[in-house]
Amino acid sequence: MIAIPAMGDERANLIGRLLPFIAHRRLEAGDRLPSERELAERFAASRGAVREALAVLEALRIIERRPNSGIYLRPVERQGSIEAIVLQAELGIPLTEAEVREVVELRRILEMQAVRLAAERRRPEDVQRLDEILARTDAVIAAAGNPADEDAAFHLAMVEATGNHVFLRVVNAFYLMSRNRRRAYFADGSRAPLSQRQHRAMRDAVAEGNPDGAEAAMGGHLRGVESYWMELLEKRARGD
């Protein structure tokens, strides 16, 4: 996968200004962007810095350069990379309602299959890793902390137990893009105990080599999470 630039570097700062600029101007696929020179003047940056930032957006398939013509916005929904969504989340640019719904749907597709494969392929060290994460989560909950990072670690460890590292990289992108939403989900402390019980049920089914039980436990877990996000989307649509 393409490396996302560190949010502290100058290039990332410029990208963080370019993407909202594109959104604010309501540019659509096929629309021409200002030239490097024009962008450098607008953002008070060097041509070299603008060129580097545009190179990242080109690698992420957000824009394309056409020889002797200019810089154009790609149809990101069809051609953009998964890293483009991760970058957007890292820069604090909210996903659209449609993107949130699609990400939630994709998570279900990926993780329901992952937990079945984990139950079929798990090794003793995979179960041990799950147990260590569950123990850390217990400690965070007992200290009234936010277990968002432990939640991500558990789900990624479950995918790692499939033995498919490409699968793991794809799911990791989902957890990168949903980091802030997970912290909000666990913020009030009420959801963490139930989530932890559901994680234990998944762990037990995987350890027993029970794909059907693991899938059922994951399905129940995801239904609760999905209902929360769908309710938020409905509130946003109503303007609440």
Q: Which domains are assigned to the chain?
A: 10-84 (1.10.10.10), 95-238 (1.20.120.530)
Q: Per-10-residue mean pLDDT for the chain, 240 residues long?
A: 52 81 78 92 90 88 88 76 71 71 87 97 98 98 96 97 94 84 88 96 98 96 82 64
Distances (CA, A) of 196 to 34, 64, 108, 142, 191: 50, 45, 18, 12, 9
Among residues 78, 87, 79, which one has the least CA distance to residue 2? Answer: 87
Cβ atoms of 14 and 50 closer than 8 Å: yes
Helix runs in the chain, H state only: 10-24, 36-42, 47-59, 76-79, 82-90, 97-121, 124-142, 148-160, 165-177, 179-185, 192-207, 211-238
Instruction: Report the C-alpha gap between 191 and 28 in whole angstroms.
Output: 39
Residue-level pLDDT at 22: 81
Among residues 197, 207, 192, 108, which one has the least CA distance to residue 161? Answer: 207
Residue-level pLDDT at 240: 58
Distance of CA 53 to the CA centre of its chain: 21
Cβ atoms of 186 and 194 closer than 8 Å: no
Q: Which two tokens stand for residue 195?
A: 């989530």
DSSP state of 189: S
Among residues 236, 240, 154, 143, which one has the least CA distance to residue 196? Answer: 154
Residue-level pLDDT at 78: 67
Instruction: Report the C-alpha gap between 223 and 98 in whole angstroms.
Output: 18
pTM of the model: 0.74
What is the C-alpha R_g of the chain?
21
Cβ atoms of 128 and 161 closer than 8 Å: no
Q: Which two tokens stand for residue 36?
A: 């490097």
